[in-house]
Chain A
Amino acid sequence: MDKFRMIFQFFQSNQESFMNGICGIMALASTQMYSAFDFNCPCLPHYNLAYGLGILLVPPFILFLLGFVLNNNISMLAEEWRRPQGRRGKDPSVLRYMFCSMAQRAMIAPAVWVSVTLLDGKSITCAFCTSVPVETLGNASHPPLSQGEIQRLLARIPCKEIYNGQQLIANEVAVRYLRCISQALGWCFVLLMTTLAFLVRSLRPCFSQAAFLKSRYWSHYIDIERKLFDETCAEHARSFAKVCIQQFFEGMSTDLVAARCHLPRKAPANAGEAAEKLLGIIDQGTMNMALKSWHRCKPPLHLHPPALPTGNGWAGEGQPPTHPSAPRRETAAYYSWV
Chain B
Amino acid sequence: MDRFRMIFQYFQSNSESVMNGICGLLALASVKMYTSFEFSCPCLPQYNLAYGLGVMFVPPIILFLCGLILNRQSLVMLEEWRRPPGHRKKDLAVIRYMCSSILQRAMVAPVVWIVVTLLDGKCLICAFSGSIDPEKFVGFPNVSTVQVQQLLAKVPCKDDELMRNNTSRKAVSRYLRCCSQALGWSILLILIIAAFLARWLRPCFNQATLLQARHWSNYIDIEQKIFEETCCEHSRLFAHKCILHFFESMQQEIKLHSFSLPREGEEAEGEEGLLQGITDQDQVNKLLKTWYYEKPPLDVS
Contacts and interface: CB of A to CB of B under 8 A. Distances in A.
A302 B281 contact: yes
A300 B47 CA distance: 81
A338 B284 contact: yes
Contacts of B295: 83, 86-88
B294 A87 contact: yes
B247 interface: yes
Nearest to A195: B65
Nearest to A246: B271
Contacts of B236: 5, 8-9, 12, 224, 228
B285 interface: yes
Contact of A183 (B40, B258, B276): B40
B154 to A, nearest CB: 9
Contacts of B235: 217, 220-221, 224
A5 B233 CA distance: 10
A53 interface: no
Given A88-B296, A220-B231, A236-B275, A301 B65 contact: no
Nearest to B268: A306
Interface residues of B, number: 68
Interface stretch (A95-103, A173-181, A268-276): A173-181
Contact of B285 (A176, A235, A336): A336
A62 interface: no
Q: Interface of chain B, helix or strand or loop or mixed?
A: helix
Nearest to A84: B293
Contacts of B276: 236
A168 to B, nearest CB: 15
B187 interface: no
B271 to A, nearest CB: 5
A336 B283 CA distance: 13
Nearest to A216: B231
B274 interface: yes
Contact of A191 (B43, B62, B74, B281): B62
Interface residues of A, number: 73
A77 interface: no
Given A180-B47, A228-B240, A191 B61 contact: yes
Q: Identify whether the interface residues of A are mostly helix, strand, loop, or mixed.
A: helix
B260 A88 contact: no
Contacts of B78: 202, 205-206
A217 B83 CA distance: 19
B190 interface: no
A121 B272 contact: no
Contacts of A206: 78, 82
B69 A194 contact: yes
Nearest to B247: A232
B239 A224 contact: yes
Interface of B: 37-38, 40-44, 47, 50-51, 54-55, 58-59, 61-62, 65-66, 68-69, 74-75, 78-79, 81-83, 157, 159-161, 229, 231-232, 235-236, 238-240, 242-243, 247, 258-261, 263-264, 271-272, 274-276, 278-281, 284-285, 288, 291-298
Q: Which 3 A-B pairs have the closest CB atoms?
A: A86-B294, A301-B281, A180-B42
15 contacts: A83-B293, A86-B294, A120-B38, A180-B42, A180-B47, A191-B61, A194-B65, A202-B75, A205-B81, A220-B232, A220-B235, A235-B274, A240-B279, A300-B281, A302-B280
